[in-house]
Structure 1
Amino acid sequence: FCVQVPPSLDALRKSSQQVVNLLSKLTNSSDPNLQADENPSSDFPLPDFVRSYLIAFIAALFITLVQLLVMFAGIRRNLLQAFRGDDSEIPRRLSSENINYITGTFHFAGYLIGYVILAYIFLAIFLFIILISIDALITYGNVKFLETILKIIIPTLILVFFKMYLNKILGQYIFLQHDGEVLSINNRRAFMVFIYFNFFLDAFLGFVAAIMRILRSIAGGVLYMCRLDYSPLGRKLETIDSGFSAYCGFIFVECAHRHPVLLYFVSHLLRNHLYPTNTKRLSKARHKWYVAIFLLNNPTLIYRRKQFLTRLQENELKMMLIGRNNMKELYIEQPPILAHRASIISAKDLEDIWERRKF
């Protein structure tokens, strides 16, 4: 299909030139005598489409492949997060949505193919339009239609960026303490006055920000359409995105059936209890070596071992006895190891417990 398109690009350029000239006549009343595409006085003369077509479709192919590789890496990352119970990127799994998860698994492969093909086409068309504009500006040097658009856009963007950086400078050096290192308002009265007068300008900039939001949403949606792990609708509305819902269902079903801890536990039960194959017990030395290797790979579990906790409890008890002798109090607070006793115990009971533990 991509090879069959270039021969018909010349006819497409001529028809597109007529449409562009018609639009320029409607938007620009200063030049009422615009002619066809061969006339150099056209507001937006279109260049040859072949160069833009080839560059656009090659760039779209490259971007799509990169996005797919990023998505495959994201699948691995999201699976590991699901194993840990981390819901920072994908929503939390709910038992009431199990049917939706399994149906999402049905659709995942088919949705992925459809999204990738459509994303490639849209991205190629989007890049094709941008490259035509750049090529026209480079080829003809003076494009009235683009100049008219840029005269409207550039001053607005300059005002927006100036206002944005002015707010950052004022916020850092005037309205925040310690140059923005602490989130505490400084010069509170000046801050309130600035908010009052800034409201009127921000009401105008809000229209510009809304338009920019729409344009960014379009660009982001086209660029990330091939990725099912990303929803352009945002965290609040991502559940109504069919592609993202299928992706979440795929992740949750994989997590439920391929969780490494679950698989190891089940295999351990099958190997050692239901179908025992080796009745030879490990020696005590080998068992200690296994424990040592396990603790080296999982150092945080050292503080949860029984011996460490017992030693910690004894040290706490000893410190409490020392404190009793220094302060000469008859009653002290209960240590953690005596959770089954009353909250207030006598000093003699503590001494008896300590004597028993010493031997």
Structure 2
Amino acid sequence: MLAAVYIDTIFTLTCATIYTWLYFIITVLHQGYCPNSYYPTESDYQATNSSFDIIKYLSYYGTGSNLIAIQLCIDIPRYLCLAYVSIRLPMMVINKIRQYRCNKERYELKHTQEEQAFFIAVQPYSVETLYVRNLFRSANIRSPSRSFIARLVPKSIYEWRDDFRFSSRIFCIYAALFLVLFVITIKLIVEELPNLPYWQIMIERLTDFIYVNSIDSQANAPQNQISSTSSVSTVKVPFFIAVFTALIITVVQIVVLLTSIRRHLLQIFRGNYTEIPKRNNLKNLLYATGNLHFAGFFIGYAVWGYILCFILAFFISYFFGKLIENNEKLFQQILTESIPVSLLSIFKVYLNLFVAKYIFLQQRNQILAINNHRVSMILLYFNFFLDAFLGLAASFTRITNSFLTTIIYMARLDYSPLGRQLDYGDAGFLAYLGFIQMEAIHRNPIMLAFVSILLVHQRTKQSNRSSKIRQKWRLALLLIHNPSLIIMRKAILARKEGNLAFLHMMKTSEFEHLTNINFENALKAILRREYVVHKHISLNNSDTIVSRL
């Protein structure tokens, strides 16, 4: 199907449509036999000896149609994709036939998909044209979006812009990622709900091992009795809290990454490199490889972040639930040990703020200059010993914050936990950087608008001979006024020996210090030689034609 869409002919699109319809029908018929991935067949049962799985699912879900409904829910993404492809391909065939019948001359030109994109870019309300039109306009003067979605979403959450659109690659990656998160969430809930009693046993053993040194034996004996007879709801509630917390955090992070992609692309279009490092030609290979890895790294990082957020949220919710429910003495002990340290740290912070504002800084924080230098030196001396112990506690806070931030921001490839100086050691950030640099180079709206104008002008005038002559004279005039463009022409770059000699002459200081008259005569001689070699003009009237320039 992908090859048929890329070839983009009536025959290939028709074959792809027939294949998609047949595959969709076979899939529906196969699903009509009610296959189930959770109840094995007789052959699978004898091969894998999966009696334990059968007993587990039968005891929890029963013998009804619960698992069949769950199986249908898991197959929803596949049916949605097949339905979209089954409708989209016939529409492409119809549009191709209509284009061939209504505008046969345009079809005979055999425009490629890239050229068709350039023809769309030159339209008055295309994204590239609107961007160029709003290039020197502020956000207040810029016309509001005409999209219906822009009216529904508040600007404080997301500002919809008509002069920007994401590439099709972004839409495909995000569609695949959302489908993966949907399937993982459903499978996690369905397959792990029957295993929650075993989760509870393992967690209770772990908590008993941890609490044995913090609780005395008299308080620990009834606690073990309570834990052994507690219901599975003590694990089920944290399980669902962890699943939906991880899903919400992951979805929010990938949506925020989408807004970051737009912001970073617009910044690079304007030449702003405050957030993204400036492109370095020595790292082009690094950008190219990062661009290749972006899609896979993005989905892998997002899935791994989802799993880590689930584990972290589950243990936090289970821990606090057990503390509030059963371990009152342990909860009181934790509060007794943590509250004094927290209060001392808060008092120290506010004391430093008060002293710095009203004693040390001049004009109460208006000027960054020390007012009482000797008093500040005395306070620094006595403050050193207390800050040494507070710094030890703050170091653990830094480690905890780094750990939690890395887990929460795992799906954000634009965020590197290593910092700006070490961000090149992060493979995810390198993949994002390569993707942004490649997108900025190949999807710059100013470049696309300019090239589309040139392409349309060339294709509309290519059948007229007088227009070809006029175009060549305009080219000659352009090269005279912009001599640096001569060495970038295809004909000159293709020549080997003459190209090297010409480049050497252009780089010599003697050629650069010529007077205007000598410089113009030298350029005319170069143009005369090039046009005679390529048979654009004859050798007899070359002097007359070039002299008119």
Structure 1 residue 57: Cα displacement: 0.5
Relative contact order (C-alpha < 8 Å, sep 6+): which is higher? Answer: 1
Q: Does 1:15 align with 2:209?
A: no
Give the TM-score normalised by structure 2.
0.47
C-alpha deviation, 1:23, in angstroms: 2.1
> % of aligned pairs identical?
41
Correspondence for 1:300: none
Equivalent residue number for residue 78 of structure 1? 264
Answer yes or no: is 1:259 the counterpart of 2:444: yes
Change (3 A) 1:184 1:273: farther
1:193 corresponds to: 378
Moved more, 71-80 or 5-14: 5-14
Where structure 1 has 5 or more consecutive residues not aligned to the other structure, the ranges are 281-359
Map 1:58-69 onto structure 2 (within 5 A). 58-69=244-255
CA deviation string 1:39-69 (max 9, x = no partner): 2499xx9971001101111121112111111
Pairing partner for 1:106 from 292, 296, 304 = 292
Q: Residue in 2 aligned with 1:24? A: 211
Please point out which of 92, 103, 108 is paired with 2:278: 92
CA-CA distance at 1:29 after TM superposition: 6.8
- C-alpha distance in 2 between matches for 1:4 and 1:37: 30
Aligned mates of 1:208, 1:172 — CA distance in 2: 25
Aligned partner letter, 1:135: G
Measure the CA separation in 2 of the matches of 1:90 and 1:157. Answer: 38
Q: Distance in 2 between matches of 1:270 and 1:47?
A: 68
Structure 2, gaps ≥5 residues long: 1-186, 468-549
Partner of 1:205: 390
Cα gap change, 1:54 to 1:174, in 2 (>3 Å)? same
Amino acid at match of 1:130: I
Question: Any conservation in 2 of the 1:101–1:249 contact (CA below 8 Å)?
Answer: yes
User: 420, 423, 436: which is aligned to 1:238?
Assistant: 423
Q: SS at 1:130's partner residue?
A: helix
Partner amino acid, structure 2, of 1:101: Y
Q: CA deviation at 1:113?
A: 0.8
Distance in 1 of aligned mates of 2:384 and 2:409: 35
**Paired residues for 1:1-359 under 5 Å:** 1-2=187-188, 3-25=190-212, 27-28=213-214, 30-31=216-217, 34-35=220-221, 38-40=224-226, 48-140=234-326, 142-272=327-457, 276=461
Q: 1:222-253 CA deviation, whole Å, 9 max, x = no partner?
A: 11101111111111111111111100000001
Q: TM-score, normalised by structure 1?
A: 0.71
Tell me the distance in 1 between the aligned counterparts of 2:251 and 2:221. Answer: 42
Counting matched residue pairs gives 276
Rounded Cα–Cα distance in structure 2 between residues aligned with 1:36 and 1:104 = 57
**Pairwise CA RMSD:** 2.7
- The runs of 4+ residues in structure 1 deviating greater than 6 Å are 277-280
- Residue deviations 1:157-192, cap 9 Å, x none? 222121111111111111111211221221122111
Assess if the C-alpha contact under 8 Å between 2:215 and 2:330 holds in 1. no
Q: Is the 8 A contact 2:291 2:431 kept in 1?
A: yes
Distance 1:125 1:29, change over 3 A: closer
AA aligned to 2:240 is L
Q: What is the CA deviation profile of residues 142-162 of structure 1, one whole-angstrom value per residue up to 9, with x for unaligned ones?
A: 433343333333222222121
Distance in 2 (alpha carbons) for counterparts of 1:32 and 1:93: 67
